[in-house]
Amino acid sequence: MADFSNLLDEVESSTTAAVDNPFQSQDEYNDPAPILQQQPQEDEEDYNADDNTEQQEAAQIPSVLLQAETQYREERERDTSALIETDRNKSREDGGDYDHEDGDDSILSPDEDYETLKHLWIQELNCAELLPYHRQSIPVLMELLSAQEEIIDDLQDQGKNSFSASSGNVDPSLASLAASVAKMDLDRVSFLLADLTRTRLGKIEKYALHNREVLDRMSDEEISYLKAYGELYEQHMRRSVTDHIPKEAWRKLDEPSMIERPNLDAYVFCYVVDEDGVVINNHEGIDIDDEEELEDGPDPEERYDSGAYLFVRYGLIRNFILEGRVELLM
């Protein structure tokens, strides 16, 4: 059995040479970087060799995997940059806008924004109470939406005009394909934003009296919405019921027992994100009458490390969620 690290060195030194590879000849598609396409196949051969190695070489396998991964990633980056290059070439006439948006936004940054948005949406859906308004991302996303719409309109125009003096380099069918893909993306983001806003409005309305105390969790528009809604509601109640009740004392609409508060005892699925783990006191927030039970039972405080999935009472992890150390799951 050959020494494996030597095999690897051989492989690396031979990547620059054009090795006759049976897989490549079948490809009609002209890949601009044939050398890059070789490497995964050669790694495949290495993998086959892997299976035949003895256990003593198991320690070296992870490094092979690591290298394969970096090579694959480099190749993918080179492919995507090649894509950006071809797109740039195709739309040079459009001025800076198209390639800037497409190069950056369609590959990298909307994904981050989109992930944030999706994360916010999932948290808001599964939480009984109103979560703090994400001042950093939500307005940015809204602007992104309107920018996207313009791009789509541009793309659609390009799709329709086969002979256009200004955009001679653009392939119309490709542009309309890009337009429909971008439209789907826009629809996704619109849906998430709309549903997030609707969920928040629903919670604001449902726990309107309670939310008067947590104004810091709402955006300015939401606060004015709450006020207007509260007035509308109160006015209707007064007009229909309480104005006809004799004494002032019975006319109150916001006695403590009348305020509906979000149910903090609901059970939720969650996931510990914080690397240091969290310590949860099982007895937090509930009254335990029997002193004996407290002493005999298991220790109420338990530690959960990062990566743990839990099914807990919402009240226990409430603070962790607000700090971001624990996340809610769908």
Partner 1 sequence: MNYGQKAKELLLDLKRSDFIPPYNKDTVRDALSEISLHFQELEDIQTALHRANPENSTRVRVDRSLRPPLLLHDAAIKRNKRCLLAYHVHRLEKLKRLRWDTTAALPPHVKSLLDEAEVDFYTGYDKLVSRFNDKLGGGLDLNSNVQPPEEDLIEVRVVKSGLGTIVTDYGEVSLDLGTTHFLSRGDVEHLIRQGSLQQIDGEETS
* Residues at the site binding partner 1, with contacts judged by CB under 8 A: 141-146, 149, 156, 180, 183-184, 187-188, 190-191, 193-195, 197-198, 201, 205, 221, 225, 228-229, 232-233, 236-237, 239-242, 244-247, 250, 253
Q: Which residues face 270 on adjacent strands?
A: 310, 328
Least Å distance, CB 40 to partner 1, is 34
Question: Coil, strand or helix: which one is 13?
Answer: helix
Comparison of 208 and 280: residue with beta carbon closer to partner 1: 208
Comparison of 174 and 253: residue with beta carbon closer to partner 1: 253
Least Å distance, CB 112 to partner 1, is 18
Least Å distance, CB 127 to partner 1, is 19
Comparison of 239 and 261: residue with beta carbon closer to partner 1: 239
Comparison of 72 and 233: residue with beta carbon closer to partner 1: 233
Least Å distance, CB 165 to partner 1, is 23
Comparison of 247 and 299: residue with beta carbon closer to partner 1: 247
Token digits of residue 217: 């969790």
Secondary-structure percent of the chain, ordered helix, strand, coil, rounded to 5: 65, 5, 30
Least Å distance, CB 238 to partner 1, is 10
Residue 328: its H or E element: strand 326-328
Q: Which residues face 280 on adjacent strands?
A: 302
Least Å distance, CB 101 to partner 1, is 16
Cα distance between the two ends of the chain = 51
Cβ atoms of residues 186 and 145 within 8 Å = yes
Comparison of 193 and 310: residue with beta carbon closer to partner 1: 193
Least Å distance, CB 265 to partner 1, is 23
Alpha-carbon gap, residue 295 to 72, rounded angstroms: 57
Quote the Cα angle for 324-281-265, to 5°: 75
Comparison of 125 and 279: residue with beta carbon closer to partner 1: 125
DSSP track, 220-264 = HHHHHHHHHHHHHHHHHHHHHTGGGSSSGGGG-S--GGGS----T
Cβ atoms of residues 118 and 134 within 8 Å = no
Least Å distance, CB 135 to partner 1, is 15
Cβ atoms of residues 203 and 132 within 8 Å = no
Residue 86: its H or E element: helix 61-90
Question: Coil, strand or helix: which one is 280?
Answer: strand
Comparison of 100 and 227: residue with beta carbon closer to partner 1: 227
